[in-house]
Structure 1
Amino acid sequence: MATRQRIMRIRRDYNRWVADETMEDYALRFTAESARKWSAFRVANTALGSISFLALEAIGGALTVAHGFTNSIAAILFVSVLIFIASLPICLSAARAGVDVDLLTRGAGFGYIGSTITSLIYASFTFIFFGIEAVILAAMLDSFFGVPLWAGYILCAVVVVPLVTHGITFISRVQTWTQPVWLVLNILPLIGLLIAHPDWIEGWTAYGGQHGDNGFNLLAFGAAVSVLFALITQTGEQVDYIRFLPPRATQKKWVWWGALLAGGPGWIAFDVLKLLAGSFLAYAGLQAGLSVAQAVQPAEMYRLAFGTLIASPAIVLAVTAVFVALSQIKINVTNAYAGSLAWSNFFSRITHSHPGRVVWLVFNIAVALLLMELGVYNTIEQVLFIYSNVAAAWMGALVADLAINKPLGLSPAGIEFKRAHLYDVNPVGVGSMALSVIASFLAYYGLLGALAQAMSTFIAFGVAFAAAPVIAWATDGRYYLARKPRAAWAEKSSLQCVICEHDFEPRDMAYCPVYTGPICSLCCTLDARCGDGCKPHARLSAQVMTPLRAALPDAVIRALANPVGSFMVVFLLFSATVGIVFLGIRAQAPASADLDTAFWKAFFVFAVIGGITAWALVLARQSRLVAQEETRRQTSLLMSEIRAHQRTDAALQKAKETAEAANMAKSRYVIGISHELRSPLNAILGYAQLLERDNSIPERRRDGVRTIRRSGEHLAALIEGLLDISKIEAGRIELYRDEIRLPEFLDQIVQMLRLQAEAKSISFTFDAPPRLPSIVHSDERRLRQILINLLSNAIKFTRAGGVTLRLRFRSEVAEFEIIDTGIGIAPDDLARIFEPFQRGGNSHAPSTPGVGLGLTITKTLAEVMGGEVTVRSTLGEGSTFRLRLLLSGKAEQPVAEERRITGQAVSGRPARVLVADDDADHRSLVADLLQPLGFDVRLAADGAECLRLAREEAPDLFLLDIAMPGMTGWELARQVRENLGLKAPIIMVSANALELAPPAEGQHHDDVLPKPVSVAALLDKIGDLLGVTWTFADRALPAPSAARLSPSQAANLRHLAAIGYVGGIRERLDALEAEDPEASAAIAELRGYISEYRLDAFIAALPEEEA
């Protein structure tokens, strides 16, 4: 399974138009409650500004002229009731949720990408009706004042732009200022006309249209319904304003509902009056002698009506011009505003870019202007019929989801609009809309009969309305939400977006796993890098491929996925779309063989163009996928180094679990009893250190005590080695920066391994440069472990010859070479020699104990320390392991001579130390160590006794074991701090090194100390925590007993000490004692300094050089 690509956060800075919400008006996002600052009346009044569009009068007049009074009025009343019922749930849901019609559609059955189709439908509605209104005004300017149409189009388009740039803020002012004037100019001429010609009312109601039949005709009624039903899309424009209604809880109930009904579905009531007015005015125009074309023109209608009130033709012309211009501006600011929102939503999802709502405002007006200049609106009637079917299908699916699915629980309650929480396509809305479009087109093109053709728009709405609940029930509503929002966020007032770093209300935020933080809906919409990492199952590609994989063989799926298959799919879709459009156009034309030939030629031309376009799209997509895959691969390679140790540890863990389960059990058992091993070892080492400090111990016994201590330290190192395996398994290797006295350090290792080599009767050679740095920095224990592992392996597999340790230094980089003359390693084994649980496959190799972890641990430790281990070998001749490691040096400083602590340099009450440990030997050891130094030591065997003594004695220091019966040391430390309120320092002591960690904030201890306890380390910590001033035993300089040595002998020993060659010093002292037995006393004292690695005292004891 591929890991999710990590994407670095890059702060998104929006341009001034997007950042300014006064201009942006919350396009693409939830309308924040803090932004709903206008009164309910003002919002409703702004929404009602859309009723001013004169296309209503034109439609009402055209329907009356075409189908007569009875059919047109019946259609107007029927459609108005249906639109009111359909608009109510849409406006109510939008007002409650604070979303525009696009965001509402997303959450009401269409999905994130599915609603892109409806955004395009809605945007088309806005520029179509913008153009219709502008054409009406331009025609009036041409007819009344002689302004050329092309200039009138530009004027009508440009004048709207500055009124809409600042959204509802300025539009609400425009509508408030113009509403009273418009109402007066709209009502007065109608009253004047009715007063002047009251008899026309009777004639109007009896008017039968151009066909002269005023009876009800179902076909005529259906045709009128199809035209009128396109107005339902106007509900979307009402929603774009209604979303600014103040929250319901902040308003009186009747005020809020009144504003909602008036500004929302109530628009259709006002439109009915205007449709009726247009119907009557058209009849009046015909009665006044106007032509049919003039009678259905709104400008001519109102010029006739104003003429009944005003005698002067010039004033009538002027007043009519003012009224038409005012009506056009009032409706077109709404068309332009709604179009800017629709295009913003459409292009933001297609391009993942949003230059600002103002840019799309200009774009929407430019499209309308282009269509006007090209004269498209002169032949737009057929397009409107088709558009009406598609719009009705959208609204039918939307209303069904809001009015049926949500109340019945077929879809989730509320409106979810964020990309992060939605499926790309919801089959409820998209599927029902597709079914209704197919059914309505079949009806529209006459395939279902004449009546169905007349009622095609109503069929579109009805099929979508019926299909949506069925699909929601069939899919169990699972395609509404890809994931649920975080419930805990609802309690917060605001959250900061990790991308744009602005604060937004929780409803506008989603958690992004790719950017690992909250992200606002706008930044989420515009992000093109995340690949929908939060919902991979809800992407369009996944939704398409899942059913295809279930239905088609794998071979077919692979064929469709390759570039040729993708090209065929895109090309066929394009060709089918063009073919359907051509069929629709051809169906409206008369039968003609020449016309058929022309259509086929046009189709093939478009097919060629479509093929080229499809191939370009497929190649571009393929290139993008390759680039994305390359980016992911490069990112994976760049991250691989960071994850290298994690993968190594995981692989080692898995290998041990599968290949060496029994050995793992044994290892874990040994680690588990390490606590029990450390406890007695603690007593051994502790008392060995005490005896070593005791001056009463004879000198001849001191070597034995030192042997006991060194053996104990070696045993402790073995236990640490077992713990190292556990730490490597758990990935918890910790490195320390120690000061290593390199000559002494190397001599210890050389002397230890030389004994092993001598036991096998092979030679051991140490080859080092003449001068080595006295002090280097590294992890001493890990470096010792690496060298001992490599040298032990070399000795183990060498039967004859010898082993050589060679050291070279270059620019603080140490290069160790371990060369042996052993059996060597086969070439096949070299590749896996460092893998866990792997041992050489040489059948002639001696049988040696081991589980195959030594070299694995060595290589891992070397790499963790920043070095490397390499090997070269020849089978039968030997091997050379090379370790390269940075050992940074330190300026040489005189070594402070270690002095033995004898007590404290203070008077008064001795410091009281309370020791809590279930091990009696450890308690006795600490008491024997501290009491001679002037401490008052109190002992407790468990936590309860420790708490009792703490209350009674008020100790100055606590030494607490971690693993005690009844109460752990951690709990005991907490009670000492919280329950007793004691501030005395606490040192935690444990035999389990895995339990120890330096104190962190909020913990109750001051320091940690592992068992076996180092006396020097314990005294150093006590001195630091209690501020003790120690007293030391005087250590006299060595007596000049070494004066028996000759100057040349002393000079030779001084040279060996200067280079730190302790092994050479020991060999030379043995030779001198054999030459001069009487010098044994002086040599013994010099040997004592060397055994303690006190090279400064050794040099001081040598005779001075001759001048």
Structure 2
Amino acid sequence: MSRESEFTEDIGEIENAEHSIVATGAQAAAARETLEDYTLRFAPRSYRKWGPGVVAVSALGGIAYLADFAIGATVGIANGTGNALLGIGFFAIVIMLTGFPLSYYAARFNIDLDLVTRGSGFGYYGSVLTNVIFASFTFIFFALEGSIMAQGLELGLGIPLWLGYLLSSVLVIPLVIYGMNTLAKLQVWTTPLWLVMMVFPFGYLVVQHPDAIDDFLSFGGMDTATGESLNQGVNFAGVMLTAGVCLSLIAQIAEQIDYLRFMPPKTPENSRRWWTAVLTAGPGWVIFGAIKQVVGLFLAVYLMVYLAEEAGVASEPVHQFLAVYEEFMPHWLAMTLAVILVVISQVKINVTNAYSGSLAWTNSFTRVTKTYPGRLVFLVFNVTIAIVLMEANMFSFLAELLNFYANCAIAWIVTVATDIAINKYLLKISPKKPEFRRGMLYNINPVGFVSVIVSATVSIMVYFHVFGDAIQPYSPLVALVLALVLPPIIAFATKGKYYLRRTDDGIDIPMYDEHGNPTDVKLLCCVTGIEFERPDMIASAVPGPNGEKQYISSLALSCDKSGEHVLPAQPPGVPAPSESARPS
């Protein structure tokens, strides 16, 4: 039996004094990449067969969700159109600025945001904290999207909400099992239909009821408890309250990156298409998101002013689109199309939520326990948490939940973006090349780890009125400012010494090709007997039978419970070997 077949069997613990690696059946599943989709790893060039356009459309397909309509309506009803528009604009600018460096690193070096985070100020174990923040994002928004889908099923088919929650959750599991291969097809096939069903009705409404634009622009908010108009003017507190809810979506960039890591190598021939795809599907997602939020508020105002709907009903996307469809078609057809739109939209986003959540949980669990249970285990786990939230009727306290979560998400994303943009490129304290492999990084890097804890904790305290009522609306701004200034300060204070435990990975082959892309040269993993591409490999501290140098994959090294394969810390002052091609 070959070494590869031995690894791919469902075996228990291997007691081998030479390797001392736990290779379980679930670890064997990690070798079946169609199921595991490079959960813990660099995405190799041999797997990345999609063009830039396909990757971009797949990534943007995930933002088909209708939660933006609900969020826009909710913040607009509470704060008025003027505050909502400025808050949404502020949110979009922050997302664009922070999303660009993250998207570039993911697409250029073919690693997900957790792997980017490890080498951008957090360390090998430090990024487990941010993984939990991201996993929370995926099940919160899975529950939100599932709630919207259940509302559509109840309205159109009479299915009780509790059953709708269950159906909307279980439905996505089979679609997520086979990872990027299936998701890319789903997103590409459904996007044209989704665009037609969403854009055309809104355009018709604007043409038929131009006065609705004036009503929308003059809307000053409404007290949802009494139904009375508030006539709020534009004020900074209202803008920040709006931005706080919207900025809970800042972690969406991590889901975009789960697709962007499969971008093809950047070459002179495809450079323009490569950049277009990265910018559009990376930070560019927020342009579409902001437009949907504005449209959601417009439709809510239309329902309240012209159809006398209550604010709670007017903020539900299924009722919004049902009302628009009924403008130009019979009720039965309008209802049918509204339900179809809701189902398509929510399936498109929730396959992404479930997929990304399974990656985040698996990655964290494996690093902490050095045991690989398989991505599918955490797919079910993430969906189960979402079902509990739906059954708790999270839609009723949507704004409060998102505003609270935004503080944690902003702290994480802004900290990583700051380390890349300022510490790596401006101050040159942080190494430019991304690093994620065990043994190359310190366990904890205080630059990012402390920055996130401090900025999130202080902003949450602000949110809960610890520092008074006057500053409470500005908690997202507090998180943003602290996450922007703390990483450079801590990097200076520590002199950047906690970024890299080693600068030499023990492999003489260059990491990058002539265009600065991760090379596709393959090396044999001494534990699994499988060949992995060079960026995913590191020299093993255990020599071969004849004293020769051996290599181990990051996947196998992450499950090395004994730690004997981990290279020792590199003595200070030892330079890294020169490489013929550096990343641009």
2:19 partner amino acid: R
Structure 1 residue 244 displacement after superposition: 0.5
User: Per the alignment, in what secondary structure is the counterpart of residue 510 of structure 2?
Assistant: helix
Q: Which residue of 2 aligns with 1:197?
A: 209
Return the match for 1:61 from 57, 66, 73. Answer: 73
Asked whether 1:219 is paired with 2:237, we answer yes
**Between 301-310 and 176-185, the greater mean CA deviation after superposition:** 301-310
Query: 2:439–2:569: 8 Å Cα contact kept in structure 1?
Result: no
* d(CA) in 2 for partners of 1:20, 1:533: 25
* Pair 1:363–1:66, CA change in 2 (3 A): same
Q: Which residue of 2 aligns with 1:527?
A: 560
C-alpha distance after superposition, 1:1070-1094 (max 9, x if no partner): xxxxxxxxxxxxxxxxxxxxxxxxx
C-alpha distance after superposition, 1:395-427 (max 9, x if no partner): 111010011110121101111001121111100
1:367 partner amino acid: I
Q: Which residue of 1 aligns with 2:326?
A: 307
* d(CA) in 2 for partners of 1:292, 1:236: 32
User: Per the alignment, in what secondary structure is the counterpart of residue 477 of structure 1?
Assistant: coil
* d(CA) in 2 for partners of 1:45, 1:515: 46
* d(CA) in 2 for partners of 1:50, 1:420: 35
Structure 1 residue 378 displacement after superposition: 3.8
Asked whether 1:518 is paired with 2:551, we answer yes
* d(CA) in 2 for partners of 1:14, 1:489: 32
2:551 partner amino acid: P
Structure 1 residue 487 displacement after superposition: 5.0
User: Per the alignment, in what secondary structure is the counterpart of residue 466 of structure 1?
Assistant: helix
User: Per the alignment, in what secondary structure is the counterpart of residue 230 of structure 2?
Assistant: coil
Q: Which residue of 2 aligns with 1:230?
A: 248
User: Per the alignment, in what secondary structure is the counterpart of residue 444 of structure 2?
Assistant: coil
Q: Which residue of 1 aligns with 2:428?
A: 409
Structure 1 residue 535 displacement after superposition: 4.3
Asked whether 1:298 is paired with 2:330, we answer no
Query: Which blocks of at least 5 consecutive residues in structure 1 are unaligned?
Result: 1-5, 539-1107
Return the match for 1:474 from 479, 489, 493. Answer: 493
Asked whether 1:134 is paired with 2:146, we answer yes
Structure 1 residue 251 displacement after superposition: 4.5
* d(CA) in 2 for partners of 1:326, 1:77: 27
Report sequence identity in percent.
38
Q: Which residue of 2 aligns with 1:102?
A: 114
* d(CA) in 2 for partners of 1:145, 1:197: 30
C-alpha distance after superposition, 1:30-89 (max 9, x if no partner): 111222110110000000012211110000011111100100000001110111111000
Q: Which residue of 1 aligns with 2:509?
A: 489
* Pair 1:370–1:267, CA change in 2 (3 A): same
Structure 1 residue 537 displacement after superposition: 9.8
Q: Which residue of 2 aligns with 1:665?
A: none
Q: Which residue of 2 aligns with 1:696?
A: none
Structure 1 residue 7 displacement after superposition: 4.0
Structure 1 residue 196 displacement after superposition: 2.2
Structure 1 residue 250 displacement after superposition: 6.7
Structure 1 residue 445 displacement after superposition: 2.3
2:197 partner amino acid: L
* d(CA) in 2 for partners of 1:251, 1:94: 20
* d(CA) in 1 for partners of 2:280, 2:256: 10
C-alpha distance after superposition, 1:463-508 (max 9, x if no partner): 0111001111111111111112235132792211111111111211
* Pair 1:100–1:72, CA change in 2 (3 A): same
C-alpha distance after superposition, 1:562-611 (max 9, x if no partner): xxxxxxxxxxxxxxxxxxxxxxxxxxxxxxxxxxxxxxxxxxxxxxxxxx
Q: Which residue of 2 aligns with 1:710?
A: none
User: Per the alignment, in what secondary structure is the counterpart of residue 420 of structure 1?
Assistant: coil
Query: Which blocks of at least 5 consecutive residues in structure 2 are unaligned?
Result: 1-15, 223-228, 512-518, 545-549, 572-584
* d(CA) in 2 for partners of 1:279, 1:291: 14
Q: Which residue of 2 aligns with 1:270?
A: 288
Asked whether 1:498 is paired with 2:526, we answer yes
User: Per the alignment, in what secondary structure is the counterpart of residue 433 of structure 1?
Assistant: helix
Please show how residues 908-923 of structure 1 align to structure 2 within 5 Å.
Answer: none
Q: Which residue of 1 aligns with 2:473?
A: 454
Larger radius of gyration: 1
Relative contact order higher in (CA < 8 Å, ≥ 6 apart)? 2
* Pair 1:277–1:429, CA change in 2 (3 A): same
Q: Which residue of 2 aligns with 1:507?
A: 535
User: Per the alignment, in what secondary structure is the counterpart of residue 447 of structure 1?
Assistant: coil
Return the match for 1:284 from 302, 309, 312. Answer: 302
Structure 1 residue 123 displacement after superposition: 0.5
Q: Which residue of 2 aligns with 1:9?
A: 19
* d(CA) in 1 for partners of 2:343, 2:270: 37
Query: 2:557–2:565: 8 Å Cα contact kept in structure 1?
Result: no
Query: 2:116–2:434: 8 Å Cα contact kept in structure 1?
Result: yes
Asked whether 1:239 is paired with 2:239, we answer no
User: Per the alignment, in what secondary structure is the counterpart of residue 262 of structure 2?
Assistant: coil
* d(CA) in 1 for partners of 2:442, 2:313: 51
* d(CA) in 1 for partners of 2:543, 2:66: 51
Return the match for 2:373 from 355, 358, 366. Answer: 355
* Pair 1:225–1:260, CA change in 2 (3 A): same
TM-score normalised over the length of structure 2: 0.88
Asked whether 1:124 is paired with 2:152, we answer no
* d(CA) in 1 for partners of 2:376, 2:231: 50
Query: 1:420–1:532: 8 Å Cα contact kept in structure 2?
Result: no
Structure 1 residue 450 displacement after superposition: 3.5
* d(CA) in 2 for partners of 1:451, 1:82: 23
* d(CA) in 1 for partners of 2:99, 2:80: 28
C-alpha distance after superposition, 1:523-543 (max 9, x if no partner): 1111112268534799xxxxx
Structure 1 residue 514 displacement after superposition: 4.3
1:159 partner amino acid: L
C-alpha distance after superposition, 1:1026-1059 (max 9, x if no partner): xxxxxxxxxxxxxxxxxxxxxxxxxxxxxxxxxx
**Between 451-460 and 414-423, the greater mean CA deviation after superposition:** 451-460
Count residues in correspondence: 532
* Pair 1:340–1:474, CA change in 2 (3 A): same
C-alpha distance after superposition, 1:821-853 (max 9, x if no partner): xxxxxxxxxxxxxxxxxxxxxxxxxxxxxxxxx
* d(CA) in 2 for partners of 1:374, 1:85: 35
* Pair 1:378–1:528, CA change in 2 (3 A): farther
Structure 1 residue 103 displacement after superposition: 0.7
Structure 1 residue 356 displacement after superposition: 1.8
Instruction: Indicate the structure with greater strand content.
Output: 1
Task: Kindly report the root-mean-square deviation, in angstroms, between the aligned alpha carbons of the 2 structures.
Answer: 1.9
Query: 2:24–2:372: 8 Å Cα contact kept in structure 1?
Result: no
2:342 partner amino acid: V
Query: 1:196–1:308: 8 Å Cα contact kept in structure 2?
Result: no
TM-score normalised over the length of structure 1: 0.47
User: Per the alignment, in what secondary structure is the counterpart of residue 471 of structure 2?
Assistant: helix
* d(CA) in 2 for partners of 1:531, 1:121: 31
